[in-house]
Each structure stands twice: as C-alpha cells, then as structure tokens.
Amino acid sequence: MTDVKIIFNREFKAYFYSPIAYVFSIIFIVLNSGLYMFHFFFFGNADMRAFFSQLPLTLGLIFIPAISMRLWSEENKLGTIELLLTLPMKIEHIVLGKFLASFVFYLVALSGTLVIPILLVILGRPDFGPIIGGYFGAILLGAFFLAVGIFISGFFSDQIVSLIITSVTCGFLALIGWQYVPMVIDGWFSGLGEFLYNYVGVTRHFNDIERGVVDIRSIIYFLSFTALFLYLNAKSLARRKY
C-alpha cells in the first residue's frame, strides 16, 4: 500500500504544478453552478435537480477527460513510463495510485459546488435526500468516468487525443441514458437502443441514485465498471511491453 501512496502523492501534486488545475477547478465550479443558476432563478425551486441532471454530460464530455488525459499520456510522451514500469512496484499499485490522485482531485473540484446546497439552506428549505443522493451519485459517476479515462490515456502519448477519445466514450455513455438517443438507435437496430439504455448507459443509474432511490444494483454497476476499467488499464500496460 505504501507504493500506492507514493504514486498518489506525486500524481496529486502534479495536478498543481501547472495552472491547468486552478483554471479547471474554477471553470468546473462556475460552469456547473452557472448552468444551474439559470434554472434556479427561472423556476425558483429549492432543489438541485437541474444541477444533477446536466452533470453526466458535462462531466463526461469535458471535465473528466480533462482530469484523466495526462495520467498515462504524459508518461508516454516524456518516456517516464519506462522509468515507472522498471521501478520495483506492481503495476496494479501504480494504476491505483494514479486513479486515486485523479479521483481526489475531482472530489476537491466537486466540493466547490457545495456552495449551492448552502445557498439553498439559507434561501429555502430543501429536501436533503435528493441532494445527498445526487452527490453520492456524482462521486460514483466520477469514479467510473475516471477509470474509463485512465484506461484510454494508457494507449496514447498525446493528451489531446486521450481527451477527445475519452470525451466521445463518456459522452456516449451519458447520452444513451437520455431516452431520445436510445430511441434513435432502436430505429436503426431494433432492441439495441433499449439494451444500451438499460445495461450500458450511466444516466439511468445515476438518475436512480440522484432521486434518492439508492438501488444496490446501480451502486454495483458503478463500482464494478470502475474496477473493470482499472483492471483493464493494468493489464493493457503490462501486456503492451514494447
């Protein structure tokens, strides 16, 4: 476990070496809160439904890929991967350390949005169930997307390529949960859209949790996919060996 900690420390610090971390956090908080504020003032409801309903798409398309892109792509580009993979550490520990660093960084950015529930408490009497459920879902969703992102970044040495491919993948996973998209897919291949909606898309599971309906199957869905992609990441790096 010390190895995980050593890698975590380096990776987490690495986020703050460049101004990207600060810029990213501010944009994340401003954009998500900003998009939400429009709903808030327009409908005047003391809940965060609008905030959480847009979250899978904004996370999947931009924010998670931006956090995960550098995890391996930077190592590939600098050649430090050769150094890292010849250290006396298990590849699984390195992957876990990197993942946790990005995950904690994500949690820090997410905690910045806590101003919204605080505001709601001041201004009205919100129902805490969906808000807590929403944050819980956001944490699980973030972990899943980050695992996809770290897996993809292992294949590329260009961070921008990692960003785009992760964005397309996570964006797809988010979109097929929006009933309209599986309907279109069903039009092409009968049944495929429904299958994707039910078993692959994240939005349905996320919505369940966010509504306060904590279904154990949804939790298992997020945790098992997170673990699967981390495992695949370790395997792909151990196997690649060129």
Partner 1 sequence: MIELKNINKDYGLTKALVDVSFSIKKGEIIGFVGPNGAGKSTAMKIITTYTAPTSGKATIGGYDVLENPLEVRKLIGYLPETVPLYADMLVKEYLEFIGAARHLNGTFKQRYDWVVDACGLGNVLHRQIAVLSKGFKQRTCLAQALIHDPEVLVLDEPTSGLDPLQIIGIRNLIRELAHEKTIILSTHILPEVATIADRILVINEGQIVGDGSFEELRKKVTQRNSIYLAVKSSKKDFQSAIKSISEIEDIEFDDNVRRGVVACHLFSKIDLVEKLNELVREQKWNILEFQPEKLSLEDSFIKLTQSTNSTPEQTESANVSSADEKGGAK
Distance in angstroms (rounded) separating the CA atoms of residues 38 and 118: 17
Closest CB to partner 1 among 169 and 236?
A: 236
Closest CB to partner 1 among 14 and 46?
A: 14
Closest CB to partner 1 among 7 and 152?
A: 7
Residues that bind partner 1 (CB under 8 A): 2-3, 6-7, 10, 14, 17-18, 78-83, 85-90, 241-242
Question: Measured from the CB of residue 227, what is the shortest distance to partner 1 in angstroms?
Answer: 23
Question: Measured from the CB of residue 190, what is the shortest distance to partner 1 in angstroms?
Answer: 41
Going by C-beta distance under 8 Å and a sequence separation of 6 or more, which residues neighbour residue 12?
101, 104, 105
Query: Residues in the chain, how many?
Result: 242
Cβ atoms of 66 and 153 closer than 8 Å: no
Cβ atoms of 77 and 158 closer than 8 Å: yes
Closest CB to partner 1 among 68 and 207?
A: 68
Question: Measured from the CB of residue 15, what is the shortest distance to partner 1 in angstroms?
Answer: 10
Question: Measured from the CB of residue 75, what is the shortest distance to partner 1 in angstroms?
Answer: 8
Work out whether the CA dihedral 76, 158, 176, 212 comes out positive or negative.
positive
